[in-house]
Chains A and B, each alone.
Chain A
Amino acid sequence: MLEVVAPGPLLTLQDRGRPGLAHLGVPPSGACDPWGLTVANLLAQAPPDAIAVEVTLGGTQLRAVETCTVSLAGADLGAELDDGRPLPAGAVYRLSAGSQIRFAGSRTGMRAYVGLAGGVAARRVLGSASTCVPAGIGGIDGRPLRAGDVLLPVRRGDLGAAGRAWPARRAPHPARLDGPLRFVPGPDLRHLPADTAGALAAATWRVGPASDRMGMRLEGAALLPGGEILSHPVTPGAIQVPADGRPVVLFVDGPTIGGYPVVGVVPRWERSRLGQLRPGDRVTFAPQDAADARAAWAEQQRRLAAAARVIGVDALWEGLADGAGG
């Protein structure tokens, strides 16, 4: 059982989100880094659709109101105990009553996940507890967590997962990969100047300061814009080219339809890496065909399932293979 002492820039409850409601205008929300969420839940012996805490950058402080276990996964945000002992991601820690976790600041990545035994207890709205701040739904009253909020584990008092560690060598976080972020070209290339996909791939971009769960603004030498088009449905990962030529990568809380041409879409297997990009990070892109992107996704899921077997939670996780996409 944790109490929020300081939320940091953005602290929310997230699970795998609410897919399948885009026809009502509801974005999928969910963890920005589905891999990190999955690992936090696996370590906490929580079911696939369990709820965890998404920590953004640094400054967050959480206090154990009673002795409990917490799992940490995702980015290295400098988590440490109040006595200064570091708490690396990819493990489960036993916190005694009164002790605190502090996230000192990002060393790598943007978002960390804190799991509790069996998951965090929260009410689901439209099938999910994921907080979608723009729509004011999910989490606690549709808002980010704030000081004084209390988070209860589903299995209160269960300390059984303490000491459990993620086999990071067997299944490293996808954000550990170097190289360009892949995108599957289309569907609006015909509304854009010739070889816009090539121009996107040729440039080096910087993640803009205004980037958030709705979208990521890319700064750099502007692309030639294609103007407005008739709006069509979009998904997280869609790379729009707006009128100023600076691409925007739509993200999990973003609009469900968009009126700027989409040059390509970041595929599922790259979502976790995308979700760990910080404002100021440099990023390059490379096209990938859909078949290769699907193969990479399948391979990623196999790694996740194999690691789950290593830590002995595969029985809990029969739905893993089709689960971690978000």
Chain B
Amino acid sequence: MDDPPAAGHAPRIDRLGDAALIVTFSDELDLRANAWARRAAAELEVRRPSVPGLDTAVPGHASVLVPFDPDRCAEEALRGLLAEVLDATGRSEAAADGVLHEISVRYGGIEGPDLPEVAARTGMSEDQVVALHAGVEYRVLVLGFVPGFPYLGVVPAPLDLPRRATPRVRVPAGSVAIAGRQTGIYPFETPGGWHLIGRTEALLWDVRREHPALLAPGDRVRFVPR
């Protein structure tokens, strides 16, 4: 029971309160588990209109939250549905490639105030940090924390740093940041504890758009230094 289930094994299903279940595919950041979580959430959304009381599923890094109204959808019935959905989505491999976004970033300077520290702590030059960060294609693992904030993975291992000891009270909108093996973009000014290495003018979140979030889970992102 205490062993974390690896992707490919049966996911765990736990309660999160009295009106949600949470399916956990992996306890580690794992691209296959992430893809499975996204497929399962998408499949639940397809079935939702025919399941009274089932609310919109929320995909996480390697989990899916399934909120429901227990008065209209019994937990046992939902567990049965989940077993079907997990079976159907577990067989396929990685989801179809998402949209590729090229996001222009000004690295360092006042727009990336933590770049010198990141370079010092990783034993690289600032240029090397930028080359590494901008040198790979990222996957949008999940949107969350605040509206439209994308968690992108996976950051090359040499850039793996814990979060800042003291979070900033205000991180400017558009800041491109790293923490652990993930990178993200702050959609608007919020508090934040990640290392700020650059900034983009891309509008990550705009409620005036039909789709307020610029990125969707499963999309691909490439950062282009300018």
Contacts and interface: CB of A to CB of B under 8 A. Distances in A.
A233 B63 contact: yes
B57 interface: yes
Given A233-B144, A256-B58, A184 B72 contact: no
Contact of B71 (A232, A238, A267, A321): A321
Interface string A210-246: 0000000000000000000111111101100000000
A233 B22 contact: yes
B65 A235 contact: yes
A184 B18 contact: yes
Nearest to B141: A231
Interface stretch (B23-31, B86-94, B105-113, B195-203): B23-31
Contact of A230 (B14, B27, B72, B188): B27
A232 B63 contact: yes
Contact of A238 (B17, B58, B146): B17
B60 to A, nearest CB: 4
B14 to A, nearest CB: 3
Nearest to B145: A255
Nearest to B149: A25
A267 to B, nearest CB: 4
Contacts of A184: 15, 17-18
Given A23-B143, A229-B27, 5 more contacts: A22-B56, A231-B144, A297-B18, A298-B71, A322-B72
A265 B143 CA distance: 22
A160 interface: no
Nearest to A297: B18
Nearest to A22: B58
A9 interface: no
Contact of A233 (B1, B26, B60): B60
Interface in B137-187: 142-149, 151
Contacts of A237: 17
Contacts of A187: 14-16, 22, 24
A256 B144 contact: yes
A232 B17 contact: no
A186 B15 contact: yes
Interface residues of A, number: 44
A138 to B, nearest CB: 9
A230 B62 contact: yes
Contacts of B144: 22, 25, 231, 233, 255-257
B190 interface: yes
A24 interface: yes
A289 B58 CA distance: 23
Report whether over half of chain B's contact residues are helix, strand or loop; otherwise say mixed.
loop
B97 interface: no
A234 B16 CA distance: 8
26 contacts: A22-B58, A24-B212, A25-B146, A25-B148, A25-B213, A26-B147, A126-B207, A137-B207, A184-B15, A190-B1, A230-B62, A231-B60, A231-B61, A232-B22, A232-B24, A232-B65, A233-B22, A233-B59, A233-B64, A238-B16, A255-B145, A257-B144, A265-B15, A267-B17, A267-B18, A293-B17
A1 interface: no
Contact of B16 (A134, A186, A256): A186
Contacts of A230: 26-29, 61-63
Nearest to A293: B18
Nearest to B213: A24
Interface of A: 19-26, 125-126, 134-137, 184, 186-187, 190, 229-235, 237-238, 255-257, 262, 265-269, 290, 293-294, 297-298, 321-322, 325
B41 A23 contact: yes
A199 B113 CA distance: 42
B102 interface: no
Among B1, B17, B64, B147, residue most surrounded by chain A Cβ atoms (within 10 Å): B17
The 4 closest A-B pairs by CB, nearest first: A265-B17, A187-B14, A233-B65, A257-B144
Given A25-B213, A257-B145, A290-B75, A268 B19 contact: yes
Contacts of A21: 56
Among A135, A297, A298, residue most surrounded by chain B Cβ atoms (within 10 Å): A135
Nearest to B41: A23
Contacts of B143: 23-25
Given A126-B207, A322-B71, A235 B16 contact: yes
B199 to A, nearest CB: 19
B14 A186 contact: yes
Interface string B207-226: 10000110001000000000
Contacts of B1: 190
Contacts of A255: 144-146
B17 A134 contact: no
